Structure 1
């Protein structure tokens, strides 16, 4: 007779979330042998102390981890197990990205689908723009389009736009060769990011549209393909058109502002913009001894406005040139961050209400 504290396989299956057949498989493979097997009936019995291992085994298999790797994780200490899981996930993601790229190439070749020329751009300029604008993307399983880069083409310019709902970045490029017709679509941001290194090393990149993606053609290099995202991109043009005019404008040295943000002690901060300059405060009133006053050319009314550091810093860091221009509309309105010497890169950043941030 089995020990009364042991569970028959059916009960253990319900406790662990594994099926009885899976438990038999894992027992036979040596990963999860039962505590006891009835020699007469062959019934398998498990102990309560095996539930944790069985649950971990199930979860590892749910992320498609092979049995040999599962065994290594189960038998490892916490640090080594964590590293093994990270390495497995990195491999899975790498395979998924490779599969996506291959799928775009396969779909673009089905039925000899033509590539429609969109524009020709300087490779280093295009790579810079892609990397700058993609800082405003977000990974949201419910809204995958927020991970994409919107490309809009007309005969005179190519406009790149991205938004994570808290920031919006847009940059306009002048094509080397004018486009023959207007074109617009949202392209997968991860695939563009992966292609940026090759694009940067190419003096000229010909961008073409296929039914399911774009093709980046470069001399002496293999074509790169990036898939299109089907969901509708947020109506950023309407948002830009509906913005009120700036009531305060401040032009600040970019390196000094970045240094103040990097050394800031809090995850939230406040800018106090006056005729004296831009004062970088924390979002907490009792910590204003951390103030940093930056020289700035300021016009308009004084304004106090707060931000999350993780929202403001990327917007400033991607600005072009030695100075950034802040167009301010009020403490609860989007701020436009522009390069003071070049207006083709524009970022909108949402402020926060400091009263609603956690203490």
Structure 2
């Protein structure tokens, strides 16, 4: 068998320098891991003390290096290296969860330190909200976020505070969700800004357990002040939030309106096998069809006014928009096959989601 340049057969040993190049570990790191019994050499020359490694040790050394690169401590590294595939995966998940939790805790502590370094004077209060109401609103609206490189604002939560209401908005460019909540006390001033969605999401559990949450604005974020609970900080995002008000103003009047059971519609979507689907709406109700089949589907009873229309959606766009609606029935306002569809509760309008359809190709 002919070997490629630099390749070492499994039955031959290689000196520590060659093994270091093959594994990506330095010679000093290999000596440390040998002394730690994590990666002992296959052979040590009794006279010179030179260490030699086998080609069959490269995989273990590479995995060891990768585990250390994600800051896994040595005892956990040893456990992963000696475990089966399923147990190793579980240990990796535990480590990542701990790293993420530690990072969130560090972010909160850093916010406290920055606040103390700057000023002890509280920031201006923009709202006092009931904790459970705010928690529900945050969870509902953040379903319309996405993490996309170079566009951090698409993972953000836009907050607009007026004296009468607080509007929470999020968009991933295919959905736009808006939830309006009435403050427990009138807002002291108007304010608008976009905060980190992950920070708000992480605060939801504490917010939900608080009777009242006071929102204060500071130079680089907001504070969620909760009596008898740890205050939470959410950083402001510098990017400008998309001009959603202009889009809303340009929608025009709905040409078709359908009111349908939320549970029945969700069940039909769950039973649909494809990634794309079509909603056919006419006097007979709502029919959930395959995106490529206009003649069969799952019929749903609905109250319909206006003209018949068929609109196609990505499942990942439509399903979250319907599932977060409030109440037993959802109202769909449609404006044609290529225009955004407004989805909201049939009896409560404080959560509204716009869902973008996909291209309607009659030749498909």
Alignment counterpart, residue 32 of structure 1, candidates 26, 39, 44: 39
Kindly provide the CA deviation profile for residues 198-254 of structure 1, in whole angstroms up to 9, marking residues without a partner as x: 323333322111222222223333333222233332332233233344332222121
SS at match of 2:310: strand
- Residue aligning to 1:297: 303
Write out aligned runs for 1:71-150 (5 A): 71-114=78-121, 115-150=123-158
Unaligned runs of 5+ in 1: none
Q: Is the 8 A contact 1:108 1:211 kept in 2?
A: no
Write out aligned runs for 1:26-65 (5 A): 26-65=33-72
Kindly provide the CA deviation profile for residues 35-79 of structure 1, in whole angstroms up to 9, marking residues without a partner as x: 223333333222211111111111111111011111110111101
Write out aligned runs for 1:225-244 (5 A): 225-244=233-252
- Residue aligning to 1:273: 281
Runs of 4+ in 1 over 6 A off after TM superposition: none
Kindly provide the CA deviation profile for residues 281-309 of structure 1, in whole angstroms up to 9, marking residues without a partner as x: 123439x65x2111122233322222222
Displacement after TM superposition at 1:30 (Å): 1.4
- Residue aligning to 2:347: 341
- Residue aligning to 1:68: 75
Distance across 2 between alignment mates of 1:110 and 1:149: 27
Displacement after TM superposition at 1:125 (Å): 1.9
Alignment counterpart, residue 161 of structure 1, candidates 165, 169, 176: 169
Distance across 2 between alignment mates of 1:56 and 1:284: 46
* Aligned-pair Cα RMSD in Å: 2.4
Write out aligned runs for 1:178-257 (5 A): 178-257=186-265
SS at match of 2:357: coil
Distance across 1 between alignment mates of 2:242 and 2:53: 54
Q: Is the 8 A contact 1:167 1:311 kept in 2?
A: yes
Residue 13 (structure 2) pairs with residue 6 (structure 1): yes
Residue range with higher mean Cα deviation, 294-303 or 237-246: 237-246
SS at match of 2:189: coil
TM-score w.r.t. structure 2 length? 0.89
- Residue aligning to 2:6: none
- Residue aligning to 2:180: 172
Structure 1 residues 53 and 328 mapped into 2: Cα distance closer, same or farther (>3 Å)?
same
Q: Is the 8 A contact 1:147 1:189 kept in 2?
A: yes
Q: Is the 8 A contact 1:104 1:213 kept in 2?
A: no
Q: Is the 8 A contact 2:338 2:360 kept in 1?
A: no
Unaligned runs of 5+ in 2: 1-9
Residue range with higher mean Cα deviation, 98-107 or 64-73: 98-107
Alignment size in residue pairs = 353
Distance across 1 between alignment mates of 2:56 and 2:28: 20
- Residue aligning to 2:357: 351
Residue 331 (structure 2) pairs with residue 325 (structure 1): yes
- Residue aligning to 2:320: 314
Distance across 2 between alignment mates of 1:237 and 1:248: 22
